[in-house]
């Protein structure tokens, strides 16, 4: 059995059998271990970071990612749109901040960033940063120079997911190689930006594929600062969406196992519940938080897929005694009186 050292610094030498052994732990033991790692890494289990993601350029993407409604290869009924103006994006970011978001993410459905779009993106990033928000963007593949320019514009995080393990990757997308993704992450790190990198589960992959994805993330030169775990939202008209609509979505307990293993192998990453949360029960979300998830997307929409609304999230946080990250814990009146 894999031995876990809760006090150890993040390691980068995980083997696939070791990660698979974590998945195979008895469920209660695995969740307990993940919760212990979460605390040992310095996280407050009652704090959750709130992020909001806006699609600043929707549809018409040249990639053939088999899960994506925005791919030009599939007929999903989604209308392609042009890149938004910076002032519109900044106004949306202001609304997000006023609604409680702490990080604002901007996503564009591109295979790669074009230099001609950099000035408008720099204006967006600078304007969002000026609002006091953390900034994040996902714009496809980058060159080293583009990564440096985004950093200079004030971008804090760059999202570029691996999607799945390398063995299953060819069943997900063929227009971009796994090495392409790793190269972009290297450019982001070299530019001094934080990385946001995770994957999607429930695409028909095996547990071994999920373990392989987490091994890849844990063995990167530096762990992702933000690690999103997406549950596939099956979209009719996409190959993987149609496959899952027939076969059924990932088992909830297996999803929690994935979150728990992610927390253990990347102990200091922000493990983010991303796509698919709208289909999760309150109890499933509670288990994910217990297993080490400490970040969610809010705002009712994640690019083109639904998320819970503000009222639902507020009720969930109240019932689970959670609070947004960085917000001081409320002091009960009797505690004040006793003091």
Given 103, 105, 257, 263, the catalytic residue? 105
Given 61, 197, 266, 288, the catalytic residue? 61
Distance, CA of 46 to CA of 322 (rounded, Å):
5
The span from the first CA to the last CA of the chain, in angstroms, equals 48
DSSP-derived secondary structure letter, 326: T
Distance, CA of 9 to CA of 133 (rounded, Å):
29
Beta-sheet pairing, 270-273 with 226-231: parallel
H-helix or E-strand containing 186?
helix 178-190
Contact call for residues 78 and 58 (beta carbons, < 8 A): yes
DSSP three-state, residue 289: helix
Given 39, 116, 136, 148, the catalytic residue? 136
Would you state the structure tokens that stand for residue 147, as one six-digit string? 């990564």
Q: Is 288 in the active site?
A: no
Q: Is 266 in the active site?
A: no
Given 65, 197, 266, 288, the catalytic residue? 65
Given 103, 176, 181, 196, the catalytic residue? 196
DSSP three-state, residue 327: coil
H-helix or E-strand containing 31?
helix 27-40
Q: Is 105 in the active site?
A: yes
Distance, CA of 213 to CA of 232 (rounded, Å):
15
Q: Is 196 in the active site?
A: yes
Given 181, 215, 257, 272, the catalytic residue? 272
Distance, CA of 188 to CA of 66 (rounded, Å):
25
Q: Is 68 in the active site?
A: yes
Q: Is 136 in the active site?
A: yes
Enumerate the active-site residues.
61, 65, 68, 105, 136, 196, 272
């Amino acid at each position: 059995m894999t031995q876990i050292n809760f006090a150890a610094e993040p390691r980068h030498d995980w083997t696939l059998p070791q990660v698979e052994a974590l998945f195979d732990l008895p469920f209660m033991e695995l969740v307990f271990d993940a919760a212990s790692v979460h605390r040992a890494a310095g996280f407050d289990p009652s704090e959750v970071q709130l992020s909001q993601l806006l699609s600043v350029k929707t549809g018409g993407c040249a990639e053939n990612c088999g899960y994506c409604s925005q791919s030009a290869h599939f007929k999903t009924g989604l209308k392609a749109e042009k890149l938004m103006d910076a002032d519109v994006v900044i106004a949306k970011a202001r609304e997000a901040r006023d609604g409680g978001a702490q990080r604002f993410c901007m996503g564009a459905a591109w295979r790669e960033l074009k230099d001609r779009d950099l000035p408008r993106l720099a204006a967006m990033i600078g304007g969002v940063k000026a609002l006091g928000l953390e900034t994040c963007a996902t714009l496809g593949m980058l060159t080293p120079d583009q990564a440096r320019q985004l950093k200079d514009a004030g971008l804090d995080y760059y999202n570029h997911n691996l999607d799945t393990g390398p063995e299953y990757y060819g069943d997900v997308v063929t227009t971009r190689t796994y090495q392409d993704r790793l190269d972009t992450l290297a450019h982001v790190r070299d530019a001094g930006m934080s990385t946001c990198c995770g994957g999607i589960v429930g695409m028909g992959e095996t547990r071994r594929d999920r373990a392989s994805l987490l091994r890849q993330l844990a063995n990167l030169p530096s762990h992702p600062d933000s690690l999103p775990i997406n549950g596939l939202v099956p979209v009719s008209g996409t190959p993987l969406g149609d496959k899952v609509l027939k076969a059924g979505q990932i088992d909830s307990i297996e999803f929690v196992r994935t979150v728990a293993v992610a927390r253990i192998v990347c102990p200091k990453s922000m493990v983010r519940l991303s796509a698919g949360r709208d289909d999760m029960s309150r109890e499933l979300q509670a288990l994910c938080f217990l297993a080490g998830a400490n970040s969610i997307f809010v705002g009712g929409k994640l690019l083109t897929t639904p998320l819970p609304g503000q009222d639902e999230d507020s009720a969930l946080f109240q019932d689970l005694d959670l609070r947004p990250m960085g917000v001081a814990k409320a002091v009960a009146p009797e505690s004040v009186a006793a003091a």
